[in-house]
Structure 1
Amino acid sequence: MARYEAAPSILGNIAFKKALFQSPSPAPENSKPAAGSEIAPSNSLIYKVQLQQDIEMNLHYIKKDLHVQCLKDLRELANKLQDDNWQYEPAEKLTGLQ
């Protein structure tokens, strides 16, 4: 399923990747950042929110797919048990309730 892809706007932004994976240590006061390496605070917040939404959406789809797979496995097991049911005595008959 192709739903597990991050938004292209985040992946294509080099400055965002640099800011995301940089050390959290503060920059020296007397040094100036290179032109184009700083992200505006509003853009940074937008990227963080978008990244969080993408992660939550992908996690939701993964959980949904795992749940669907579990339901398929349970359905197969139920069908197998139903096919084998004729081989065994009913529990009610074995306990004397029938």
Structure 2
Amino acid sequence: MAQDSTEIRKKLFRSPMVEGDRLADNSTSMNLMTRLHIEHDMEHVYKTVNRDMHEQRLKQLRQKLKTLEEDDWRYQPVDKLIGLQ
């Protein structure tokens, strides 16, 4: 009950201009902070996804190279086939 009366007194003696300006400034700063936070999160996710995709491509290339090295003995060298050797 005492808390309610304190709140009422605070609101009663506040200037409406100051209250409105303070709320507008707070709202603007919160919007800006939210936007910056979202942009930061999006950039972080974008970098993480790009790094993961790059690592996946490297892994696939390593696997293809390994497969080619294992199958290399089956085929004649290209230089010999086109007559350079």
Scaled by the length of structure 2, the TM-score of the pair is 0.68
Report sequence identity in percent.
35
What count of residue pairs does the alignment treat as equivalent? Answer: 60
Select which of 39, 42, 66 maps to 1:52.
39
Q: Measure the CA separation in 1 of the matches of 2:27 and 2:83.
A: 77
CA distance in 2, matches of 1:95, 1:59: 46
Q: Which of residues 24, 43, 61 is equivalent to 1:74?
A: 61
Higher helix fraction: Structure 1 or Structure 2? 2
- Within the alignment, does 1:62 sit opposite 2:40 as a pair? no
- State yes or no: 1:41 paired with 2:28: yes
Q: CA deviation at 1:40?
A: 1.2
Structure 1: runs of 5 or more not aligned: 1-38
Q: Which letter does structure 1 place at the counterpart of 2:32?
A: L
Q: How does 1:78-97 map to 2 (within 5 A)?
A: 78-97=65-84
- Please name the residue that 2:11 is paired with: none
Deviation at 1:48, TM superposition (A): 0.4
Q: So what's the TM-score if we normalise by structure 1?
A: 0.59
Q: CA deviation at 1:74?
A: 0.6
SS of the counterpart of 2:84? coil
Which structure has the bigger radius of gyration?
2
Provide structure 2 residue ranges, at least 5 long, that are not aligned to the other structure: 1-25
Runs of 4+ in 1 over 4 A off after TM superposition: none
Give 1:89's aligned amino acid. Answer: Q
Q: CA deviation at 1:85?
A: 0.1
